[in-house]
Amino acid sequence: MSRLAKRPIQLPQKTEVTVASGIISVKGPKGTLTRPAHRLIGIEVSPESIQVVSKSETIEARAALGTYASHLRNMLTGVTEGFQKKLLVEGVGYKWDVQGKTLNLALGFSHPVKVAIPEGLTVVAEKSALTISGFDKELVGQFAADIRALKKPEPYKGKGIRYDGEVIRRKQGKKAA
């Protein structure tokens, strides 16, 4: 059993959690998140905390217990503080800009790449940095991963899109004879 799932999750100020007909709903100052509850997991809500409990003692129930405790913590953090990912672009002629709900990228292809920004995300483009923020951790992380996958950093010169703080292992390249 997960050690994190044994501890009750404290509710921050101005947040409200409801569980109705198998749907977990967390409402806070930044927005509302919902997630279907697992059939083997029960959620007990009190005015100041949430406790995740197992309905059975199977291996699947024990695995889902810690997972859903983490999901609830992420949902509470998202609706109170929000999440943020920062991407960096490196390379001659590589650039990006935001126009309305579209992210325009110039990545060395023969055509510009246009990506629609999902609802609920805020994207800010600076010269070589792109900041993605929102209250849904999964949506922020998935959109950042999709953008990075368009042009992964290559190991010889380091050109491409990478996360802030990501270390790219560099290769030496060819040696002259």
Q: In the predicted model, what is the mean pLDDT of residues 19-42?
A: 91
Same-domain check for residues 15 and 75: yes
pLDDT tens per residue, range 117-173: 999 999 999 988 999 999 999 999 999 999 999 999 999 988 999 999 988 898 988
Domain that holds residue 118: 83-163
- For residue 175, is pLDDT > 90? no
- pLDDT surpasses 60 at 1: no
Q: Which of 59, 80, 101 is the last residue of a domain?
A: 80
Q: What is the CATH number of the domain that holds 92?
A: 3.90.930.12
In a domain, residue 110? The reply is yes
Predicted pLDDT at 152 = 93
Question: Is 171 within the bounds of a domain?
Answer: no
Q: Which residues contact 127 (CB under 8 A, 6 or more apart)?
A: 95
Give 122's Cβ-side CA count (13 Å radius). 8
173 assigned to some structural domain: no
pLDDT at 57: 87
The count of residues in the chain is 177
Residue 168 lies in a domain: no
> Confidence band (pLDDT; 50, 70, 90) for 36?
very high
Mean pLDDT score across all residues of the chain: 91
Give tens-digit pLDDT for 64-87: 888 999 999 999 999 999 999 999
pLDDT at 158: 86
- Match 């368009």 to its residue by tokens: 150
Residue 11 DSSP label: P
pLDDT digits (tens, 9 = 90+) for 86-110: 999 998 989 999 999 999 999 989 9
* Rg of the chain on CA atoms, in Å: 21
Query: What pLDDT was estimated at residue 77?
Result: 94
Please say whether the beta carbons of 10 and 37 come within 8 A: no
Phi, psi of 146 (to 5 degrees): -65, -40
Query: Is residue 18 one of the residues assigned to a domain?
Result: yes
The predicted model gives 32-53 an average pLDDT of 90
